[in-house]
Structure 1
Amino acid sequence: MTLFSANLGFLWTELSLPDAIRAAKAAGFDAVECHWPFDTPAQDVKAALDETGLPMLGLNTRRGNLSQGENGLAALVGREVDARAAIDEALAYADEIGAKCVHVMAGFASGEEARQTFIANLTYACKAASQLGKTILIEPLNRHNAPGYFLQTTDQARDIIEHVGEANLKLMFDCYHIGRTEGDVATRAKELLPFIGHVQFASVPDRGPPDHGELDYWFVFTAFDSLGWTAPLGAEYKPLGDTDVTLGWMKTLR
């Protein structure tokens, strides 16, 4: 049976994070994940996780200065102090709530100097995460939604993972982003399986529930099952209304 995780960065956003965790449990999800939980006391999140029995799969590092349009810090030359502070913060929060992974956001940057900065910050992140038994994730974002984001393709991500060479650095395989940029999602999953640390999904191209669009998620989820993938798949889609109303896909795709 396919397992699903609710990404609470998009689902039940009208609720507090602890109440969104409870809503995910009531809806039948097997796990939860989030984006930037830092404004919610970690003990409140931990209490909701303990109450529901749901694992928290992961969270993101802070994006940076939102008023200046930042979307991550780890590849920004000259921002190493800020990037590592964000890594430390995310790892500490993840450890307090028992989250398994931290997604280190690269940010808007380009060029070899940015690549070397990203690699150095990821090396720092992986060594810090290893002391806590955590995994570091990196995620390519598609050029339509995040033009100028440093990490744009799975090939680029694989090259960086291999260069860093740390066992706890993995790929966030987001079917939506890969579907919009590269296509052939099931084949990419098979090729990249040893590098994948987490899987997310949404319809292509509108990022809605996975019951419509260009990607046939019955085919995609069956492909992951055939590859031996048993971890929960992350529902990171925009419901455009009441989340509960959009959950019919869980019955047909589970």
Structure 2
Amino acid sequence: MPRFAANLSMLFTEVDFMDRFAAAADAGFSGVEYLFPYDFAAGDIKIELDNNKLEQVLFNLPAGDWAKGERGIACHPDRVEEFRAGVDTAIAYAKVLGNSQINCLAGIRPQGYDCATVEQTFVDNLKFAAEKLADAGIKLVMEMINTRDIPGFYLNTTAQALAIRDKVGSSNLYLQYDIYHMQIMEGDLARTVSGNLAVINHVQLADNPGRNEPGTGEINYRFMFEHLDRIGYQGWIGCEYKPATTTAAGLGWMKAHNAI
């Protein structure tokens, strides 16, 4: 049976961030993820994890100025030093929080650089991060994101991610497969996951259209959950969706699946 992690950047936003850990545990989650921990002391987050018996599953490397629309800096040739400093920051947090994987957001393709330079920057930064994280016992994942929600996002298909992974050449680099994003960009979800299971270390979900909870759109999540079990996926599934109404009201899909 899949293990579901509450994404605290999108779920339980009815309460302050530090109160979302207790809310997630009360709702039946045993793991949590979120965009970034860096606005809070790692020790304070660790207290919430421990008090609520939650596992820290995932967070992202520092990704630039999120409030100003930046969505990662890993492919930006003029931000390499900032990216690499962020890797050290993320490792320091993970050592306290206990997560065994960290996600890298490629970012929106920067203007003023040719395609080869942007790609090489991304490859070199991934090599650096994969090696540093490996030394710390942490896996690096990279996420493909649809270009409708984030126009110009650099990494946006499974095929591109696999090609980048080959160029990086690290056994410590994996894919984060977001079902919602990939339904928009390419479809063929079940076969893609099956064919690339060995390099998929994390899965996320939301339905389409709307990016709301499973059961509100076109994706057959009951089939996908059973498929992930059938092919032997052992990782977490991050619930990174926008509740159609309230978080609690939108959790019927999880209760129904857990009752099967």
Name the counterpart of 1:142. 146
Compared with structure 1, are the counterparts of its residues 4 and 114 closer, same or farther at alpha carbon in structure 2 (3 Å cutoff)? same
- State the partner residue of 2:38: 38
After the TM superposition, which of the residue ranges 142-151 and 231-240 deviates more from structure 2? 231-240
Q: Which runs of 5+ in 1 are unaligned?
A: none
C-alpha deviation, 1:16, in angstroms = 3.3
* CA distance in 1 between partners of 2:68 and 2:39 (Å): 20
The root-mean-square deviation of aligned C-alpha atoms, in Å, is 1.4
- Mapping of residues 1-254 of structure 1, within 5 Å: 1-66=1-66, 68-109=68-109, 111-254=115-258
Which whole-Å CA distance do the structure 2 matches of 1:17 and 1:135 have between them? Answer: 25
TM-score of the aligned structures, taking structure 2 as reference length: 0.93
Distance 1:216 1:96 in 2: 37
Change beyond 3 A, Cα 1:59–1:67: closer
Q: Which runs of 4+ in 1 moved over 6 A?
A: none
Q: By how many angstroms is 1:150 displaced?
A: 0.7
d(CA) in 1 for partners of 2:4, 2:26: 13
- Unpaired segments ≥5 residues, structure 2: none
Q: What do residues 97-145 of structure 1 show as CA deviations (whole Å, max 9, x unaligned)?
A: 1122111111111612111101111111111101211011100100110
Paired amino acid for 1:112: A
Task: Please state whether the residue corresponding to 2:232 is helix, strand or coil.
Answer: coil
String of CA shifts for 1:204-223, please: whole Å, max 9, x gaps: 12100011211000011111
- Tell me the distance in 2 between the aligned counterparts of 1:10 and 1:195: 26
Separation in 2, partners of 1:170, 1:140: 11
CA contact (8 A) 2:201 2:235 kept: no
Greater Cα shift, 40-49 or 9-18 = 9-18
Shift of 1:78: 1.6
AA partner of residue 216 (structure 1): N
- Given that 2:213 and 2:244 are in contact with CA atoms closer than 8 Å, whether structure 1 keeps it comes out as no
Aligned length in residues: 254
State the AA in 2 paired with 1:27. A
Q: How far apart, CA to CA, are the structure 1 residues paired with 2:25 and 2:208?
A: 26
Distance 2:109 2:128 in 1: 19
Q: Contact between 2:33 and 2:56, CA under 8 Å: does it hold in 1?
A: yes
Letter in 2 for 1:64: G
Return 93-102 or 168-177, whichever deviates more.
93-102
Looking at structure 2, the residues matched to 26 and 218 of structure 1 have their Cα atoms a distance apart, in angstroms, of: 24
Q: Is the 8 A contact 1:30 1:232 kept in 2?
A: no
Query: Deviation digits for residues 16-51 of structure 1, max 9, x if unmatched?
Result: 333211111111112111101211111111011112
Residues 2 and 228 of structure 2 are in contact (CA less than 8 Å); yes or no, is this contact kept in structure 1? no
Tell me the distance in 1 between the aligned counterparts of 2:81 and 2:18. 31
Q: Which range moves more in the overlay, 177-186 or 98-107?
A: 98-107
Q: 1: distance between equivalents of 2:53 and 2:186?
A: 36
- TM-score, normalising length: structure 1: 0.95
Distance 2:67 2:45 in 1: 27
